[in-house]
Amino acid sequence: MHEITPAHPVALILGSGFKRLAGLVKPVQRVSYEQIVGNTHAPEALAGLEATVGTVDGKAAIVYPARLHLHKGFTAFEVSSLVRHAHAKGCRIAIFVGACGAVAGEEGLGVVSDHINLTGTTPLTGWQREGDSFVPMNDVYDARLRKIACEVAKNNGMDLPEGVYAEVCGPNLETPAEVRALGLLGANYVGMSLSLEAIMAHALGMKVLAFSLATNQAGASYVSHRYVRAEATSAAKDLETVVRGVLARL
């Protein structure tokens, strides 16, 4: 099996509560989200957001500190804007980080092995792709990168279970019946991002690694966006250890 050697920068695409990771990059250039996405139905959601081009521990990287979501008014194609920008800038590995709810299993940090797209849409609709427009989805989440992540976690005394991520539109959280249905579908995690971005990254030929931080049990009555952000922030140190360890082995 060939080695994963990033002659290109690595894209780090971050979700809510992961400012600590965004702070790891030594900046060379900043690019506004308005410039990346262009004209959109939700310009206010982009205000003040910037991608940072630079290095993380000496590795060339582009860090995107916030994700785009359907429930903010973006189209599926717009949601994939950060991925397409990263690819155009030379990134061939995309590392996603996001908070989610635990459907089956314990709360904590995990790595995504597959996804279930329940949004009812895809960023590939109408996209002009060279060659066959039908993109296989058998191996979206790179097995070699997942193995590296699990080894790094183990070497640092952490468990990093693999699981299936279900994406829903939001912004409402899941009902108890929906959580039971997600469990029957085989989902371990549920959230409002990832699958649309991963589909585009895979279609562009990028290697994908996705970390899921289950901050709560899905459908729990105590959950709020503030709670999720606080839990994500508290787990940032462990996540930073794993991400930096993965980057060191690329």
Catalytic residue among 50, 167, 174, 197: 174
Beta-carbon contacts of residue 65 (< 8 Å; ≥ 6 apart): 14, 18, 19, 22, 49, 50, 51, 52
* Amino acid at site 224: S
174 is catalytic: yes
**How many angstroms separate the CA atoms of 178 and 184, rounded?**
10
Q: Of the candidates 125, 127, 156, 128, which has an alpha carbon nearest to the alpha carbon of residue 243?
A: 156
Helices (H) and strands (E) in the chain, counts: 9, 9
Relative to beta strand 50-56, strand 59-64 is antiparallel
**How many angstroms separate the CA atoms of 208 and 95, rounded?**
6
Beta-carbon contacts of residue 226 (< 8 Å; ≥ 6 apart): none
Q: How many CA atoms lie within 13 A of 23 on its CB side?
A: 8
Within 10 Å of residue 250's Cβ, how many Cβ atoms?
15
**How many angstroms separate the CA atoms of 69 and 76, rounded?**
8
Beta-carbon contacts of residue 43 (< 8 Å; ≥ 6 apart): 34
Residues tagged active-site: 174
